[in-house]
Amino acid sequence: MRTAGLMMNDVWADRALRERGVQAHRYDGLDAQIGVLVDSVELKHRGKEENYRPYLHVVGELRSITPAEPLPYGITQVTYSHGQGEKVDAFYEFDDEQLVALAAKGYFSPSFTVPDQLTGIEWELPARVDALVLTPSGDQADAPVVFMNVHRIADLEIDLASTEYDLAAYFADRSKDGHGPVESVVDQRGLRARSDAINSLFSEDELDLVAQAENLQRPEAQQPAAEGVTAQLLAVEAEITAEREQYQAELERTEGTPEHLYHQRVAPALHLDGPEDTAAPADAEPDAGATHDLDFGLDEEATGQEVPAPTLEERKREASRRAADLDFGEEDGHGLGH
Protein backbone atom coordinates (compact mmCIF):
# COMPACT_ATOMS: atom_id res chain seq x y z
CA MET A 1 0.00 0.00 0.00
CA ARG A 2 1.20 3.50 -0.81
CA THR A 3 0.42 6.34 1.54
CA ALA A 4 1.28 10.00 1.89
CA GLY A 5 3.83 10.68 4.60
CA LEU A 6 5.23 13.44 6.75
CA MET A 7 8.80 14.16 7.74
CA MET A 8 9.98 13.21 11.20
CA ASN A 9 10.87 16.81 12.01
CA ASP A 10 7.25 17.85 11.49
CA VAL A 11 5.70 19.41 14.60
CA TRP A 12 2.85 16.87 14.54
CA ALA A 13 5.25 13.99 15.12
CA ASP A 14 6.20 15.26 18.58
CA ARG A 15 2.58 16.07 19.46
CA ALA A 16 1.37 12.62 18.42
CA LEU A 17 3.92 10.88 20.64
CA ARG A 18 2.87 12.95 23.64
CA GLU A 19 -0.82 12.14 23.22
CA ARG A 20 -2.12 9.55 25.69
CA GLY A 21 -3.51 6.34 24.31
CA VAL A 22 -1.78 6.74 20.96
CA GLN A 23 -0.23 3.55 19.70
CA ALA A 24 2.79 3.88 17.45
CA HIS A 25 5.42 1.70 15.85
CA ARG A 26 9.00 3.05 15.77
CA TYR A 27 11.68 1.75 13.41
CA ASP A 28 15.28 2.98 13.19
CA GLY A 29 17.96 2.42 10.54
CA LEU A 30 15.85 0.70 7.91
CA ASP A 31 17.28 0.05 4.45
CA ALA A 32 15.29 1.85 1.77
CA GLN A 33 15.31 3.37 -1.67
CA ILE A 34 14.46 7.07 -1.89
CA GLY A 35 13.06 8.73 -5.00
CA VAL A 36 14.72 12.11 -5.71
CA LEU A 37 13.53 14.48 -8.41
CA VAL A 38 16.90 15.86 -9.56
CA ASP A 39 17.05 19.60 -10.17
CA SER A 40 20.76 20.07 -10.93
CA VAL A 41 23.98 18.11 -11.41
CA GLU A 42 27.38 19.85 -11.12
CA LEU A 43 30.83 18.55 -11.95
CA LYS A 44 33.18 19.51 -9.11
CA HIS A 45 36.60 18.54 -7.77
CA ARG A 46 38.09 17.61 -4.43
CA GLY A 47 40.94 19.49 -2.80
CA LYS A 48 44.65 19.32 -3.44
CA GLU A 49 45.15 16.56 -0.87
CA GLU A 50 42.88 14.33 -3.03
CA ASN A 51 44.59 15.36 -6.27
CA TYR A 52 41.52 17.34 -7.39
CA ARG A 53 39.51 14.16 -7.99
CA PRO A 54 36.24 14.92 -9.86
CA TYR A 55 32.79 14.11 -8.52
CA LEU A 56 29.13 15.03 -9.19
CA HIS A 57 27.03 17.13 -6.84
CA VAL A 58 23.39 16.10 -7.24
CA VAL A 59 20.61 18.32 -5.82
CA GLY A 60 16.95 17.39 -5.79
CA GLU A 61 13.73 17.01 -3.80
CA LEU A 62 12.60 13.92 -1.89
CA ARG A 63 9.49 12.45 -3.57
CA SER A 64 9.20 8.92 -2.18
CA ILE A 65 10.62 6.38 0.28
CA THR A 66 10.41 2.64 -0.38
CA PRO A 67 11.51 0.49 2.60
CA ALA A 68 13.24 -2.80 1.85
CA GLU A 69 10.60 -4.52 4.05
CA PRO A 70 6.95 -3.39 4.21
CA LEU A 71 5.89 -1.37 7.24
CA PRO A 72 2.90 -2.25 9.46
CA TYR A 73 -0.54 -2.18 7.86
CA GLY A 74 0.97 -3.20 4.55
CA ILE A 75 2.71 0.09 3.79
CA THR A 76 5.18 -0.49 0.95
CA GLN A 77 5.90 3.11 -0.07
CA VAL A 78 5.57 6.59 1.45
CA THR A 79 5.14 9.45 -1.00
CA TYR A 80 5.51 13.23 -0.76
CA SER A 81 3.80 15.85 -2.87
CA HIS A 82 5.71 18.64 -4.60
CA GLY A 83 7.12 21.06 -2.03
CA GLN A 84 6.51 18.70 0.92
CA GLY A 85 9.68 16.61 0.65
CA GLU A 86 13.04 17.73 2.01
CA LYS A 87 15.97 18.85 -0.10
CA VAL A 88 18.47 16.11 -0.95
CA ASP A 89 22.20 16.69 -1.54
CA ALA A 90 24.00 13.64 -2.93
CA PHE A 91 27.64 13.28 -4.01
CA TYR A 92 28.47 10.77 -6.74
CA GLU A 93 32.06 9.47 -6.69
CA PHE A 94 33.65 8.12 -9.89
CA ASP A 95 35.80 5.01 -9.60
CA ASP A 96 39.15 4.67 -11.38
CA GLU A 97 37.72 2.95 -14.44
CA GLN A 98 35.10 5.66 -14.85
CA LEU A 99 37.79 8.34 -14.63
CA VAL A 100 39.73 6.61 -17.42
CA ALA A 101 36.56 6.55 -19.52
CA LEU A 102 35.97 10.27 -18.86
CA ALA A 103 39.54 11.12 -19.88
CA ALA A 104 39.09 9.15 -23.10
CA LYS A 105 35.92 11.12 -23.83
CA GLY A 106 37.82 14.40 -23.68
CA TYR A 107 37.42 15.28 -20.01
CA PHE A 108 40.18 17.92 -20.32
CA SER A 109 38.52 19.61 -23.27
CA PRO A 110 36.78 22.98 -22.60
CA SER A 111 33.61 21.65 -24.25
CA PHE A 112 33.30 18.78 -21.74
CA THR A 113 30.07 19.45 -19.78
CA VAL A 114 27.49 17.58 -17.72
CA PRO A 115 24.74 16.09 -19.96
CA ASP A 116 21.29 17.66 -19.65
CA GLN A 117 19.48 14.31 -19.54
CA LEU A 118 20.65 13.77 -15.95
CA THR A 119 18.28 16.46 -14.63
CA GLY A 120 14.50 16.68 -14.54
CA ILE A 121 14.06 12.97 -13.80
CA GLU A 122 13.59 10.92 -10.63
CA TRP A 123 16.58 8.98 -9.34
CA GLU A 124 16.35 5.94 -7.06
CA LEU A 125 19.07 6.25 -4.45
CA PRO A 126 19.96 3.94 -1.53
CA ALA A 127 19.56 5.32 1.98
CA ARG A 128 18.85 4.42 5.59
CA VAL A 129 15.63 5.73 7.15
CA ASP A 130 13.72 5.94 10.42
CA ALA A 131 9.96 5.43 10.53
CA LEU A 132 7.17 6.26 12.98
CA VAL A 133 3.80 4.67 12.16
CA LEU A 134 0.75 5.74 14.17
CA THR A 135 -2.01 3.18 14.60
CA PRO A 136 -5.31 4.24 13.04
CA SER A 137 -7.74 5.54 15.66
CA GLY A 138 -11.04 3.63 16.16
CA ASP A 139 -12.17 2.85 12.68
CA GLN A 140 -9.76 0.48 11.03
CA ALA A 141 -10.70 1.99 7.69
CA ASP A 142 -8.63 5.06 8.50
CA ALA A 143 -5.14 5.12 7.00
CA PRO A 144 -2.16 5.13 9.37
CA VAL A 145 -0.07 8.27 9.70
CA VAL A 146 3.60 7.73 8.81
CA PHE A 147 6.54 9.98 9.74
CA MET A 148 9.90 9.32 8.03
CA ASN A 149 13.47 10.51 8.43
CA VAL A 150 16.33 9.98 5.93
CA HIS A 151 19.84 9.65 7.32
CA ARG A 152 22.41 12.14 5.94
CA ILE A 153 19.89 13.63 3.56
CA ALA A 154 22.14 16.68 3.09
CA ASP A 155 25.32 14.62 2.60
CA LEU A 156 24.39 11.41 0.84
CA GLU A 157 27.37 9.51 -0.60
CA ILE A 158 26.62 7.43 -3.69
CA ASP A 159 28.59 5.68 -6.42
CA LEU A 160 28.31 3.08 -9.17
CA ALA A 161 28.28 0.17 -6.75
CA SER A 162 25.49 1.53 -4.53
CA THR A 163 23.22 3.00 -7.22
CA GLU A 164 24.12 0.85 -10.26
CA TYR A 165 24.09 4.12 -12.22
CA ASP A 166 27.10 4.40 -14.52
CA LEU A 167 26.91 8.16 -14.90
CA ALA A 168 30.19 8.28 -16.83
CA ALA A 169 28.37 6.57 -19.71
CA TYR A 170 25.99 9.51 -20.05
CA PHE A 171 28.76 11.98 -20.93
CA ALA A 172 29.20 12.72 -24.63
CA ASP A 173 32.48 12.01 -26.38
CA ARG A 174 34.34 15.33 -26.70
CA SER A 175 37.75 13.90 -27.49
CA LYS A 176 37.65 15.20 -31.07
CA ASP A 177 36.32 18.61 -30.15
CA GLY A 178 39.66 19.78 -28.79
CA HIS A 179 42.83 20.91 -30.55
CA GLY A 180 45.44 19.20 -32.64
CA PRO A 181 48.12 16.81 -31.33
CA VAL A 182 50.40 19.63 -30.25
CA GLU A 183 47.58 21.42 -28.42
CA SER A 184 46.02 18.34 -26.87
CA VAL A 185 47.71 19.12 -23.56
CA VAL A 186 45.40 19.81 -20.63
CA ASP A 187 43.71 23.19 -20.97
CA GLN A 188 44.63 24.58 -17.56
CA ARG A 189 42.35 27.58 -17.88
CA GLY A 190 39.32 25.39 -18.69
CA LEU A 191 40.18 22.95 -15.90
CA ARG A 192 40.45 25.74 -13.35
CA ALA A 193 37.22 27.32 -14.53
CA ARG A 194 35.29 24.05 -14.19
CA SER A 195 36.88 23.02 -10.91
CA ASP A 196 36.89 24.89 -7.65
CA ALA A 197 40.47 23.84 -6.98
CA ILE A 198 42.25 26.99 -8.14
CA ASN A 199 40.74 30.46 -8.10
CA SER A 200 42.85 33.25 -9.55
CA LEU A 201 42.93 36.50 -7.61
CA PHE A 202 43.02 38.50 -10.86
CA SER A 203 40.90 38.44 -13.99
CA GLU A 204 42.37 38.34 -17.50
CA ASP A 205 41.87 42.12 -17.90
CA GLU A 206 43.67 42.79 -14.62
CA LEU A 207 46.56 40.57 -15.70
CA ASP A 208 46.86 42.61 -18.91
CA LEU A 209 47.08 45.80 -16.84
CA VAL A 210 49.83 44.25 -14.71
CA ALA A 211 51.78 43.35 -17.86
CA GLN A 212 51.43 46.90 -19.17
CA ALA A 213 52.67 48.30 -15.87
CA GLU A 214 55.70 45.99 -15.99
CA ASN A 215 56.51 47.18 -19.51
CA LEU A 216 56.35 50.82 -18.38
CA GLN A 217 58.82 50.06 -15.58
CA ARG A 218 61.50 48.98 -18.03
CA PRO A 219 64.36 51.51 -18.58
CA GLU A 220 63.73 51.86 -22.31
CA ALA A 221 60.07 52.70 -21.64
CA GLN A 222 60.78 54.97 -18.70
CA GLN A 223 63.25 57.27 -20.52
CA PRO A 224 60.85 58.65 -23.19
CA ALA A 225 58.12 58.98 -20.62
CA ALA A 226 60.43 60.88 -18.24
CA GLU A 227 61.58 63.24 -21.02
CA GLY A 228 58.00 64.00 -21.97
CA VAL A 229 57.03 64.76 -18.37
CA THR A 230 60.09 66.99 -17.91
CA ALA A 231 59.27 69.01 -21.04
CA GLN A 232 55.69 69.49 -19.90
CA LEU A 233 56.83 70.64 -16.46
CA LEU A 234 59.24 73.15 -17.97
CA ALA A 235 56.54 74.56 -20.26
CA VAL A 236 54.12 74.97 -17.37
CA GLU A 237 56.82 76.60 -15.24
CA ALA A 238 57.61 79.08 -18.03
CA GLU A 239 53.93 79.99 -18.41
CA ILE A 240 53.57 80.57 -14.68
CA THR A 241 56.70 82.75 -14.59
CA ALA A 242 55.49 84.86 -17.53
CA GLU A 243 52.06 85.38 -15.97
CA ARG A 244 53.65 86.36 -12.65
CA GLU A 245 55.95 88.93 -14.33
CA GLN A 246 53.05 90.39 -16.34
CA TYR A 247 50.89 90.70 -13.25
CA GLN A 248 53.72 92.37 -11.31
CA ALA A 249 54.30 94.86 -14.13
CA GLU A 250 50.60 95.77 -14.21
CA LEU A 251 50.62 96.40 -10.47
CA GLU A 252 53.67 98.68 -10.79
CA ARG A 253 51.97 100.73 -13.53
CA THR A 254 48.67 101.08 -11.63
CA GLU A 255 48.51 104.24 -9.50
CA GLY A 256 47.45 103.81 -5.92
CA THR A 257 48.85 100.29 -5.51
CA PRO A 258 51.65 99.58 -3.01
CA GLU A 259 53.71 98.18 -5.86
CA HIS A 260 53.37 101.45 -7.83
CA LEU A 261 54.37 103.57 -4.82
CA TYR A 262 57.33 101.33 -4.11
CA HIS A 263 58.48 101.31 -7.74
CA GLN A 264 58.13 105.11 -8.17
CA ARG A 265 59.28 106.39 -4.76
CA VAL A 266 61.04 103.84 -2.61
CA ALA A 267 63.04 101.74 -5.06
CA PRO A 268 64.84 104.71 -6.76
CA ALA A 269 65.79 106.20 -3.40
CA LEU A 270 67.18 102.89 -2.20
CA HIS A 271 69.12 102.60 -5.45
CA LEU A 272 70.59 106.12 -5.06
CA ASP A 273 71.56 105.56 -1.45
CA GLY A 274 73.29 102.27 -2.18
CA PRO A 275 77.03 101.96 -1.48
CA GLU A 276 77.82 101.31 -5.14
CA ASP A 277 76.16 104.56 -6.31
CA THR A 278 77.86 107.03 -3.93
CA ALA A 279 80.41 108.02 -6.56
CA ALA A 280 79.87 109.12 -10.12
CA PRO A 281 81.08 106.91 -12.98
CA ALA A 282 84.69 107.46 -13.95
CA ASP A 283 83.84 108.46 -17.54
CA ALA A 284 81.20 111.07 -16.49
CA GLU A 285 82.15 114.73 -15.93
CA PRO A 286 80.55 116.39 -12.87
CA ASP A 287 78.13 119.20 -13.72
CA ALA A 288 78.99 122.20 -11.52
CA GLY A 289 75.76 124.00 -12.26
CA ALA A 290 73.45 121.09 -11.54
CA THR A 291 71.03 121.39 -8.67
CA HIS A 292 69.77 118.51 -6.55
CA ASP A 293 66.21 118.50 -5.30
CA LEU A 294 64.38 116.11 -2.97
CA ASP A 295 62.47 114.19 -5.69
CA PHE A 296 64.25 110.91 -4.82
CA GLY A 297 65.56 110.20 -8.32
CA LEU A 298 62.83 111.65 -10.57
CA ASP A 299 65.50 113.52 -12.64
CA GLU A 300 67.37 110.28 -13.11
CA GLU A 301 64.26 108.56 -14.38
CA ALA A 302 63.47 111.48 -16.76
CA THR A 303 66.98 111.82 -18.27
CA GLY A 304 67.87 108.18 -18.24
CA GLN A 305 71.28 109.00 -16.67
CA GLU A 306 72.49 108.17 -13.22
CA VAL A 307 72.67 111.27 -10.94
CA PRO A 308 75.25 111.37 -8.11
CA ALA A 309 73.78 111.36 -4.62
CA PRO A 310 73.75 114.92 -3.06
CA THR A 311 75.81 115.55 0.06
CA LEU A 312 74.34 116.67 3.36
CA GLU A 313 75.46 120.29 2.84
CA GLU A 314 73.93 120.38 -0.61
CA ARG A 315 70.63 119.10 0.75
CA LYS A 316 70.63 121.80 3.47
CA ARG A 317 71.31 124.57 0.92
CA GLU A 318 68.57 123.29 -1.37
CA ALA A 319 66.10 123.24 1.50
CA SER A 320 67.01 126.83 2.48
CA ARG A 321 66.61 127.97 -1.10
CA ARG A 322 63.16 126.50 -1.43
CA ALA A 323 62.04 128.01 1.89
CA ALA A 324 63.15 131.45 0.72
CA ASP A 325 61.10 131.10 -2.46
CA LEU A 326 57.87 130.65 -0.50
CA ASP A 327 55.87 133.91 -0.15
CA PHE A 328 53.83 134.28 3.04
CA GLY A 329 52.71 137.91 2.47
CA GLU A 330 49.73 139.30 4.35
CA GLU A 331 47.97 140.30 1.13
CA ASP A 332 47.32 136.73 0.03
CA GLY A 333 45.55 135.77 3.24
CA HIS A 334 47.98 133.02 4.21
CA GLY A 335 50.09 134.80 6.79
CA LEU A 336 51.05 133.06 9.95
CA GLY A 337 49.35 135.68 12.01
CA HIS A 338 45.86 135.09 10.45
Residue-wise pLDDT tens digits, 106-127: 888 888 899 999 999 999 999 9
pLDDT-based confidence at residue 30 (cuts at 50, 70, 90): very high
Q: What is the pLDDT of residues 63-94, one digit of tens each?
A: 999 999 999 888 999 999 988 899 999 999 99
Q: Assess whether 173 and 273 both reside in one domain.
A: no
Query: 4 or 34, which is more confident?
Result: 34
- 193 falls within a domain: yes
Is the separation of the CB atoms in 45 and 54 below 8 Å? yes
Residues near 107 by Cβ (< 8 Å), separated by ≥ 6? 54, 99, 174
- 334 falls within a domain: no
Report the 10 Å Cβ neighbour count for 129. 23
Total structural domains in the chain?
Answer: 2
Supply the range of the domain harboring residue 313: 254-324
Per-residue pLDDT at 297: 46
Q: What is the pLDDT of residues 40-60, one digit of tens each?
A: 999 999 998 988 999 999 999
Q: Assess whether 15 and 97 both reside in one domain.
A: yes
- 187 falls within a domain: yes
Q: Assess whether 39 and 175 both reside in one domain.
A: yes
Q: Assess whether 44 and 153 both reside in one domain.
A: yes
Return d(Cα 192, Cα 199) in angstroms, integer. Answer: 7
Is the separation of the CB atoms in 328 and 334 below 8 Å? yes
The type of residue at 136 is: P
Q: Assess whether 19 and 90 both reside in one domain.
A: yes
- 241 falls within a domain: no
- 237 falls within a domain: no
Return d(Cα 260, Cα 265) in angstroms, integer. Answer: 8
**Mean pLDDT: which of 28-32, 133-137, 288-292 is highest?**
28-32
- Of the residues 158, 184, 199, the one at which a domain ends: 199
pTM, two decimal places: 0.52
pLDDT mean across residues, the chain: 75
Q: Assess whether 154 and 269 both reside in one domain.
A: no
- 264 falls within a domain: yes
Q: What is the pLDDT of residues 16-27, one digit of tens each?
A: 777 756 788 889
Q: Assess whether 87 and 187 both reside in one domain.
A: yes
